[in-house]
């Protein structure tokens, strides 16, 4: 399969002009020359447009807000990225104490923070309660009891919602499916009511909401509606028992186009969910949406330099200076990313596997791509804004790349490149 056979995604902040790729008003080649490669590059324009599409859809025709957007920081937690969303009015979905610290570092309102995650430690729970977060999403009865113990010790009441596992097939990659009964996430549907009953009796627990998240890179609306109906059935049942739910967290997970996927339009998707909430008689609830990938995925690229072209008996290899250490998704999920020469040239096209220098056979970034490239050329790996840098590693003692954000004609270093000494600065040998 080749680049010709698989279309490139539609991009907002990145364009090809007369054979050269630009991020907003800056040639990508200029950034590579100035900052080196591998290099992550983000478009502020693309981030802004994606957020505004969600936010606009959260307001009805009369100007009434029907939902609020909480960015899922796990997708890309760089301070500049999350600050951009904060300035636009976003709250945040957090899954670790580290993400909580990042949100507080940019001055996010604690009441705009929802703390999620399947394995919260006592220290993380305490930090969230002390910060005064909007809510902690509970993933098990055991966690509920731990939250109550920590809250009792701190003499702080704990606002909680239960994450429901609705046993709905999100029709996505099994590694990023979260709403099936075989997944580790959430409380089994048949256990939810009794867990809410216990929560309502615990002395330091305030039941405030209900939460559901069924997966990531979902490209159809139907699974969301199935899960939503199941969750609203629970809300109705809880009301009959005198347990009142104040907010409804619908999670995130909407996919993007990496190639030929056709996910729902953000506005259409958001309106479909919110209309169903209203039709079921729950328009009064405080509704939270938690998009991640669909806000940042197509707002970033990874630039890499061709080091060697290596012909083989069965495969031709294009060896680049980026690797699975910079972009894990292909190795982990066999994920497809569009890959394009930053400058189009007239060299002969050949079919290559694009691979990195890491000592693993799984270290590949693209397979069977038709490219006209030579050693020293620049390639742009598209749709790398989500689950890119945040999953980077130092395997093979490789420094992590720099990150750049572009705003119009201006480029800003939002994370400096690591150097080799950084990698072992905190290590020590045993005394001689």
Domains of the chain as residue ranges with CATH: 14-43+297-424 (2.40.37.10), 67-291 (3.20.20.10)
What is the structure's pLDDT at 355?
Answer: 98
Q: Across the chain, what does the average pLDDT equal? A: 91
Grouping H, G, I as helix, E, B as strand and the rest as coil, residue 111 is helix
What is the structure's pLDDT at 168?
Answer: 66
pLDDT (tens digit per residue) in 321-344:
999 999 999 999 999 999 999 999
pLDDT (tens digit per residue) in 119-158:
999 999 999 999 999 999 999 999 999 999 999 999 999 9
Q: Of 58, 135, 318, 359, which is the active-site residue?
A: 359
Distance CA 167, CA 169 (A): 7
Would you say 266 and 53 are in contact if contact means Cβ atoms under 8 Å apart? yes
Sequence-ordered list of residues with C-beta below 8 angstroms from that of 155, at least 6 positions apart, any chain: none
pLDDT band at 286 (very low <50, low <70, confident <90, very high): very high
User: Residue 180: is its pLDDT beyond 80?
Assistant: no
- The stretch 346-367 carries a mean pLDDT of 94
Distance CA 110, CA 129 (A): 10
What is the structure's pLDDT at 213?
Answer: 80
pLDDT (tens digit per residue) in 213-243:
866 677 778 888 888 888 999 999 999 999 9
What is the structure's pLDDT at 219?
Answer: 74
User: Residue 172: is its pLDDT beyond 50?
Assistant: no
What is the structure's pLDDT at 123?
Answer: 98
User: Residue 175: is its pLDDT beyond 50?
Assistant: no
Distance CA 94, CA 114 (A): 6
Distance CA 158, CA 372 (A): 58
Please say if 58 is a catalytic residue.
no
pTM for the whole structure: 0.93
What does DSSP say about strands 20-23 and 26-27: parallel, antiparallel, or unpaired?
A: antiparallel
H or E stretch including 155?
none
What is the structure's pLDDT at 269?
Answer: 85
């Amino acid at each position: 399969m080749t680049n010709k056979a698989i279309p490139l995604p539609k991009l907002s902040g990145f364009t090809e002009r007369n054979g050269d790729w630009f991020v907003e008003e800056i040639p990508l080649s200029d950034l590579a020359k100035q900052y080196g490669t591998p290099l992550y590059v983000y478009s502020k324009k693309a981030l802004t447009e994606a957020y505004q599409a969600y936010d606009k859809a959260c307001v009805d025709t009369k100007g009434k807000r029907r939902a609020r957007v909480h960015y899922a920081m796990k997708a890309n937690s760089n301070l500049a990225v999350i600050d951009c969303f904060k300035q636009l009015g976003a709250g945040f979905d957090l899954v670790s104490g580290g993400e909580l610290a990042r949100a507080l570092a940019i001055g996010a309102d604690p009441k705009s923070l929802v703390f999620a995650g399947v394995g919260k430690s006592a220290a993380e729970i305490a930090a969230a309660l002390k910060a005064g977060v909007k809510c902690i999403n509970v993933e098990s009865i055991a966690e509920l009891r731990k939250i109550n113990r920590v809250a009792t010790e701190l003499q702080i009441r704990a606002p909680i919602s239960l994450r429901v596992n609705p046993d709905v097939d999100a029709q996505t990659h099994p590694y990023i499916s979260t709403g099936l009964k075989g997944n580790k996430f959430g409380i089994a549907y048949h256990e939810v009511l009794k867990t809410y009953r216990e929560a309502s009796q615990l002395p330091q627990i305030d039941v405030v909401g209900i939460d559901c998240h069924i997966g990531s890179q979902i490209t159809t609306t139907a699974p969301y509606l199935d899960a939503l109906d199941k969750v609203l059935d629970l809300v109705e049942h809880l009301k009959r028992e005198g347990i009142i739910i104040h907010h409804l967290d619908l999670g995130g997970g909407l996919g993007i186009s990496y190639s030929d996927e056709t996910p729902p339009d953000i506005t259409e998707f958001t309106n479909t969910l919110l209309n169903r909430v209203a039709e079921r008689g729950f328009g009064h609830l405080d509704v939270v949406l938690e998009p991640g990938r669909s806000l940042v995925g197509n707002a970033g690229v990874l630039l890499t330099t061709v080091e060697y072209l290596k012909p083989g008996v069965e495969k031709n290899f294009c060896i680049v200076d980026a690797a699975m250490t910079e972009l894990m998704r292909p190795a982990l999920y066999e994920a497809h990313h569009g890959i394009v020469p930053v400058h189009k040239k007239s060299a002969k096209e050949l079919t290559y596997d694009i691979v990195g220098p890491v000592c693993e056979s799984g270290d590949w970034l693209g397979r069977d791509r038709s490219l006209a490239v030579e050693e020293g050329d620049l390639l742009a790996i598209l749709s790398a804004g989500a689950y890119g840098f945040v999953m980077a590693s130092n395997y093979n003692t490789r420094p992590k790349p720099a990150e750049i954000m572009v705003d119009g004609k201006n480029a800003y270093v939002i994370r400096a490149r690591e150097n080799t000494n950084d990698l072992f600065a905190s290590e020590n040998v045993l005394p001689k």
